[in-house]
Amino acid sequence: MPIIGFSLIINSLYLTGPLFMMQVYDRVLASANIPTLIALLLIVLILYAFFGTLEYIRTQVLVSHGEAATESLAQKAYHICMLERTIPEPNKEKLNALEEVSTLRAFLISPTFSALFDLPWSPIFLFFVFSLHPGLGSIALIATFILTILAIINERLSRKTIESASASTQAAHQSALTAQRNATTLLANGMLQSFGKTWQQADHTARRKSIDASTINSSFSTLTKTLRLAIQSIMLGAGAYFVIQGEMSPGGIIAGSITFARALAPLEQLLGNFSQLVNARSSWKHIKQWQQAKIDDTDKETLPPPKKTLEVSKLTIIAPHTKTAILKNINFSLSAGDILGISGPSGCGKSTLAKALTNTLPANLGKVCLDGAELNQWPRETLGAYIGYLPQEIELFDGTIAQNIARFNEQDNFNAILKASQMADTHKLILSLPEGYNTRLGIQGMALSAGQRQRIALARALYGDPFLIILDEPNSNLDRAGDEAITHTLQTLKQNKCITVMIVHRPNTLTLANKLLIMAEGEVKAFGPPESIMQAAKAKKTMPVALT
């Protein structure tokens, strides 16, 4: 590995200073030879220039290797993190995958990582001290042993404290992000101070644990530095004694002290930034848990685009921790051109069913099929192109309206964007904005009202002519004009032979639905044409919520 070769040469060049000092004290001062001094000085300057060049190259190589090593990890971490957030029982390490990679990257491009490559060469310097005098070498060896033991004790005492502090800091950060995302709700409901106490408690815990970890680390770092300074003085005294005894030259005193300091420099660097080392090691341990995880499913066979049916068979989804079934044995089938309205009381599993139909919420039992093939038989990105999903909670992303409608597809086709916009009846709305389709929305699409965001999100769901369109309360934020636009969209989808599934609470939205599914307590209570369900309800003198 080139880094090892660079480290060997760089650490060898660290001996330039001690050797120069020995020559000055033992030869130049004794002979008062100015030409020799100038020649030695020129040699030293050339060696230092070579040293600086190699040190710069090594630093750049370490940075580039660190970036290269974490670039692919960052891409995988992004996918792992996003996928993990869609499952009921996410793995904590996977949820924090991006932060773990960021911590590892910061370490790999830091001087602390460089110190790890310098540490194995410390014996070179100890050997040099031994060559000056065995007594000085023995003192240096004993001192190095003591300081190494202190480093090991520091690691044992502070490791868990640092990891706990890091976890607490992350929890406090997540609490702050939650508050930022919901700032309007907190202010409007007078919750700013009350929720702030929750954040303050998390932040206080994080700071207290960080202080505990810092106290342990700084105590050992200070002790190491103090011992090093004391031992350097001992070595100077011992060196002076050996010079008086005629066992060593005067230049060896300074050379031994400088070399000993250099031998301990990597260890001192590591102790001074020990928390960074522990955090990086902890991050790498977590990264290894998902590093080999398979996220790319493009090797799956390419199936023809779905055009005929949607079948849901014995679909059951169980809530995590409670083991309560959110959906129980759901069965229904739809054909091209069908519009299914799903209704039922709040909490009956309607939105969960919608997520299951998009394959973002895996089923515990049963299956969802398009044209007879289960959803997981398609690569994720390919399946996503065949599905249009309008979630109940609308969120647009920081980008232009065109980018949001095109699902941030780098090869977006403006004709396809325009088609989706016209189908969602948002074209005039978008043109009324100052920059039209180039209007930048900002974070969470705050440049638009709630109703406008919902209509833009509907256009996004229709982009690319998907076969299956799932609309979770598509008119919850819409006015009368928005309701009329939804009606126009449903008519177009029916004509285009798409399958549309919509969760509704307003009866007027069901006028175009040719199938109705009534849910209660996670079960299908009725499924079929709306007229049949109404007749059955009248016979039983009960009326489904959606039709009242």
Question: What architecture does CATH give domain 309-547?
Answer: 3-Layer(aba) Sandwich (3.40)
Q: What are phi and psi of 317, to 5 degrees?
A: -130, 130
* pLDDT category of residue 403 using cuts at 50, 70 and 90: confident
Provide the sign of the torsion angle of the four alpha carbons 236, 237, 239, 240, taken in this order. positive
Tell me which of 340 and 94 has the higher pLDDT: 340
pLDDT, one tens digit per residue, over 478-497 is 777 777 788 888 888 898 89
For the cut 80, the answer to whether the pLDDT of residue 256 exceeds it is: yes
pLDDT, one tens digit per residue, over 74-124 is 777 776 666 655 565 555 656 677 777 888 888 888 888 888 888 888 888
* pLDDT category of residue 369 using cuts at 50, 70 and 90: very high
For the cut 80, the answer to whether the pLDDT of residue 139 exceeds it is: yes
Q: What are phi and psi of 86, to 5 degrees?
A: -95, -5
Q: For position 297, what pLDDT does the model report?
A: 62
**Percent of the chain beyond pLDDT 70?**
87
Tell me which of 391 and 301 has the higher pLDDT: 391
pLDDT, one tens digit per residue, over 222-234 is 887 788 788 888 8
Rounded to an integer, what distance in angstroms lies between the CA atom of residue 545 and that of residue 506? 9
Exposed (0-12), middle (13-18) or buried (19+): which is 417, by Cβ within 10 Å? Answer: buried
* pLDDT category of residue 299 using cuts at 50, 70 and 90: low
* pLDDT category of residue 498 using cuts at 50, 70 and 90: very high
Q: For position 221, what pLDDT does the model report?
A: 75
Give the mean pLDDT of the chain: 81
Bridge partners (DSSP) listed for residue 523: 520
Q: For position 497, what pLDDT does the model report?
A: 92
Q: For position 94, what pLDDT does the model report?
A: 64
Q: What is the largest CA-CA distance in the chain?
A: 121
Q: For position 295, what pLDDT does the model report?
A: 62
Average confidence (pLDDT) over 512-517: 86
Tell me which of 217 and 51 has the higher pLDDT: 51
Tokens read off for 23 = 């020559």
Residue with tokens 């929305």: 441
Would you kindly state where each structural domain of the chain is located, as residue ranges? 2-290, 309-547
Rounded to an integer, what distance in angstroms lies between the CA atom of residue 376 and that of residue 294? 14
Average confidence (pLDDT) over 259-280: 79
- DSSP secondary structure code for residue 472 in this structure: E
Secondary structure (DSSP) of 481-518: HHHHHHHHHHHHHHHTT-EEEEE-S-GGGGGG-SEEEE
Average confidence (pLDDT) over 347-371: 87
Rounded to an integer, what distance in angstroms lies between the CA atom of residue 87 and that of residue 476? 26
Q: For position 443, what pLDDT does the model report?
A: 66
pLDDT, one tens digit per residue, over 181-210 is 666 666 666 777 777 777 778 788 878 877
| pTM of structure | 0.68
For the cut 60, the answer to whether the pLDDT of residue 378 exceeds it is: yes
Secondary structure (DSSP) of 306-339: P-SEEEEEEEEEE-TTT--EEEEEEEEEEETT-E
For the cut 70, the answer to whether the pLDDT of residue 546 exceeds it is: no
Secondary structure (DSSP) of 435-454: TGGG-B--GGGTTS-HHHHH
pLDDT, one tens digit per residue, over 425-481 is 888 888 888 888 888 887 655 667 778 888 888 898 998 889 999 998 887 767 777
For the cut 70, the answer to whether the pLDDT of residue 398 exceeds it is: yes
In three-state form (DSSP H/G/I as H, E/B as E, the rest C), the secondary structure along 350-364 is HHHHHHHHCCCCCCC
Average confidence (pLDDT) over 515-541: 80
For the cut 70, the answer to whether the pLDDT of residue 385 exceeds it is: yes
Q: How many C-beta neighbours within 10 Å does residue 286 have?
A: 20
Q: For position 85, what pLDDT does the model report?
A: 59
Q: For position 24, what pLDDT does the model report?
A: 82
Q: What are the C-alpha distances in Å from 391 to residues 386, 398, 469?
A: 16, 18, 11
Average confidence (pLDDT) over 504-530: 81
Name the most confidently modeled range: 99-108, 212-221, 417-426, 536-545: 417-426
Average confidence (pLDDT) over 260-274: 79
Q: For position 537, what pLDDT does the model report?
A: 63
* Sequence-separated (6 or more) residues with CB below 8 Å from residue 107: 113, 276, 277, 279, 280, 283
HSE-up of residue 256 (Cα within 13 Å, Cβ side): 31
Tokens read off for 139 = 């003192």
517 close to 527: Cβ distance less than 8 angstroms:
yes
Q: For position 310, what pLDDT does the model report?
A: 92
Q: For position 333, what pLDDT does the model report?
A: 92
**Percent of the chain beyond pLDDT 90?**
6
Short-list 401, 396, 399, CA closest to 414: 401
Question: What architecture does CATH give domain 2-290?
Answer: Up-down Bundle (1.20)
Q: What are the C-alpha distances in Å from 461 to residues 215, 394, 420?
A: 54, 12, 8
pLDDT, one tens digit per residue, over 412-425 is 678 888 999 888 88
Q: For position 42, what pLDDT does the model report?
A: 92
Q: For position 332, what pLDDT does the model report?
A: 92
